[in-house]
């Protein structure tokens, strides 16, 4: 099966750039229905990396060599902050703001729970492997190649040079033991980090484990007097003007509208591949495919941001991921569960309904299937 979502220019681990090797010694078969295609949620390894890196790097100059100019004008104490979205990006922003002395943080989440699509991530998080002869420059080269050279090069450089610091933050601040690494599609080194298997051999779910740890951190006594979490609350727009900038948000809960003002607003509301106007407008040819997104991923924040004057790019670049778990009793369901790239990274191969391999050696995987 194929899945869908991710801007093409973003990273080296896109499944569409995966190289298949017929010489893989220990392979396991992964069945594929080449007819049904699925839109991938924002849950794969790169997204885990970029949201932590982007938000963490705003507050941290990091350690070790870097070519990226990081923010140095942020004071040690701040006023109030609104975070729109309760996924990995949002909770990372909230924890980091509280760590650095923010007086009050309000998380606004339209669902009845936190986690978003981030909680579904299973493959791992990408970071330069300092245990091997890997380097940020090699990470950059792999990413540009995988993105067909249309990447945002500033973003690629930030990811490559700040990835080790973001991983260190997860390990040292959140005490997450992400020590196992593997090499997945598009990478020339073992850059995908995850947790060691549980005692019974089962893998630890990467996304859920990170999200649960962040949720627990936010519940600590240290932050309880400075944190407000509003669930079942949907942001309907921004408060402010072109002259004054964003001053807050307009939120709706149980039919009641509320204006919430703050000194800063972090927009971390996720993607748009569960459907909605953005998907139809920019990538409508993919709207007929099933998705692995949760129903909440409708691009609301992107829409409100653009209406307020924010710029967006590459919205037409949506990944078609090659595998998902399919319910035999409902093979054409509009929503399926992701069968992650890690299955292929550990030796899985793709076969057709007759049990024959359907992707040639050294092929670009999704391009061949589609």
What integer pLDDT is reported at residue 112 of this predicted model? 96
Q: Which is it for strands 78-84 and 264-267: parallel, antiparallel or unpaired?
A: parallel
What integer pLDDT is reported at residue 321 of this predicted model? 79
CB of 116 within 8 A of CB of 87? yes
pLDDT(164) > 50? yes
What integer pLDDT is reported at residue 214 of this predicted model? 96
Q: Is 325 left (phi over 0), alpha (psi -120 to 50) or beta?
A: beta
What does the DSSP 8-state code read for residue 339? -
pLDDT(46) > 80? no
Rounded to whole angstroms, the Cα distance separating 314 from 317 reads 5
pLDDT bucket at 42, cuts 50 / 70 / 90: very low
Rounded to whole angstroms, the Cα distance separating 207 from 218 reads 17
CA nearest neighbour of 345 among 211, 201, 163, 194: 194
What integer pLDDT is reported at residue 2 of this predicted model? 35
- Helix (H) or strand (E) holding 337, with range, is strand 337-338
pLDDT(76) > 50? no
What does the DSSP 8-state code read for residue 244? T
Relative orientation angle of helices 45-59 and 153-172, to the nearest 10 degrees: 80
E strands of the chain, at which residues?
3-4, 28-31, 38-39, 78-84, 102-108, 125-126, 180-182, 192-194, 227-230, 234-241, 245-253, 256-261, 264-267, 320-321, 324-325, 337-338, 348-351
Minimum mean pLDDT among 56-60, 215-219, 290-294: which range?
56-60
- In Å, how far are 1, 3, 323 from 339, measured between CA atoms? 9, 9, 5
139: tokens are: 């990470």
CB of 113 within 8 A of CB of 135? no
What integer pLDDT is reported at residue 368 of this predicted model? 56
Better-predicted residue by pLDDT, 286 or 107: 107
What integer pLDDT is reported at residue 21 of this predicted model? 34
pLDDT(313) > 80? yes
Catalytic residue among 78, 191, 321, 364: 321
What integer pLDDT is reported at residue 23 of this predicted model? 35
What integer pLDDT is reported at residue 259 of this predicted model? 97
Q: Is 349 left (phi over 0), alpha (psi -120 to 50) or beta?
A: beta
CB of 3 within 8 A of CB of 341? no
CB of 260 within 8 A of CB of 106? yes
Q: What is the mean pLDDT of residues 179-203?
A: 91
What integer pLDDT is reported at residue 38 of this predicted model? 42
What integer pLDDT is reported at residue 364 of this predicted model? 59
3-class SS at 53?
Answer: helix
Minimum mean pLDDT among 85-94, 250-259, 345-354: which range?
345-354
CB of 59 within 8 A of CB of 100? yes
Better-predicted residue by pLDDT, 316 or 78: 316
pLDDT(19) > 80? no
Q: What is the mean pLDDT of residues 155-160?
A: 94
Distance of CA 165 to the CA centre of its chain: 17
Rounded to whole angstroms, the Cα distance separating 241 from 225 reads 31
CA nearest neighbour of 324 among 17, 88, 87, 5: 5
Is 321 a catalytic site residue? Answer: yes
Q: In what order do the strands lie in the sheet with 102-108?
A: 227-230, 102-108, 78-84, 264-267
What integer pLDDT is reported at residue 6 of this predicted model? 39
Mean pLDDT, the chain, rounded, equals 79
A 10 A CB-CB count for 18 gives 23
Computed over its alpha carbons, how large is the radius of gyration of the chain? 20
Angle (nearest 5°) at CA 268 between 166 and 161: 25
Minimum mean pLDDT among 52-56, 196-200, 212-216, 361-365: which range?
52-56
pLDDT bucket at 323, cuts 50 / 70 / 90: confident
3-class SS at 223?
Answer: coil
What integer pLDDT is reported at residue 366 of this predicted model? 55
Catalytic residue among 344, 356, 357, 364: 344
What does the DSSP 8-state code read for residue 251? E
What integer pLDDT is reported at residue 200 of this predicted model? 93
Is 187 a catalytic site residue? Answer: no
What integer pLDDT is reported at residue 360 of this predicted model? 63
- Helix (H) or strand (E) holding 103, with range, is strand 102-108
For the entire predicted model, the pTM comes to 0.77
241: tokens are: 């003007």
207: tokens are: 């996304």
What integer pLDDT is reported at residue 357 of this predicted model? 83
């Amino acid at each position: 099966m194929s899945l869908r979502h991710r801007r093409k220019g973003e990273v080296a681990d896109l499944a569409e750039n995966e190289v298949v090797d017929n010489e893989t010694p220990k392979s396991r078969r992964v069945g594929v229905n080449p007819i049904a295609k699925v839109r991938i949620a924002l849950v794969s390894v790169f997204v885990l990396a970029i949201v932590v890196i982007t938000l963490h790097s705003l507050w941290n100059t990091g350690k070790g060599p870097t070519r990226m100019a990081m923010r140095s004008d942020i004071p040690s104490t701040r006023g109030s902050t609104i975070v729109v979205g309760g996924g990995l990006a949002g909770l990372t922003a909230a924890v980091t703001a509280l760590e650095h002395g923010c007086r009050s943080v309000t998380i606004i989440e339209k669902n009845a729970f936190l986690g978003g699509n981030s909680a579904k991530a299973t493959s791992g998080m990408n970071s330069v492997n300092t245990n091997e002869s890997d380097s940020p420059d090699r990470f950059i080269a792999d990413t540009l190649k995988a993105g067909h050279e249309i990447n945002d090069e500033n973003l690629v450089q930030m990811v490559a040079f700040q990835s080790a610091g973001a991983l260190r933050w997860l390990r040292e601040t959140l005490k997450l033991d992400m020590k196992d690494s593997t090499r997945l599609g598009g990478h020339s080194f073992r850059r995908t980090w995850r947790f060691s298997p549980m005692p019974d051999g089962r893998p630890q779910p990467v996304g859920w484990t990170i999200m649960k740890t962040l949720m627990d951190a936010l519940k600590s006594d240290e932050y309880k007097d400075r944190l407000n979490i509003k669930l079942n609350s949907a942001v309907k727009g921004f408060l402010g003007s072109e002259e004054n900038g964003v001053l807050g948000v307009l939120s709706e809960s149980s039919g009641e509208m509320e204006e919430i003002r703050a000194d800063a607003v972090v927009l971390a509301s996720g993607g748009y591949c569960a459907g909605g106007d953005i998907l139809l407008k920019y990538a409508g040819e993919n709207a007929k495919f099933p998705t692995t997104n949760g129903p909440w991923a409708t691009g609301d924040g992107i829409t409100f941001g653009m209406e307020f004057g924010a710029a967006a790019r590459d919205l037409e670049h949506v990944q078609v991921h090659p595998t998902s778990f399919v319910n035999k009793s409902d093979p054409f369901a509009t929503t399926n569960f992701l069968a992650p790239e890690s299955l292929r990274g550990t030796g899985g191969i793709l076969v057709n309904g007759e049990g024959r391999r359907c992707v040639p050696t050294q092929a670009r995987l999704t391009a061949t299937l589609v």
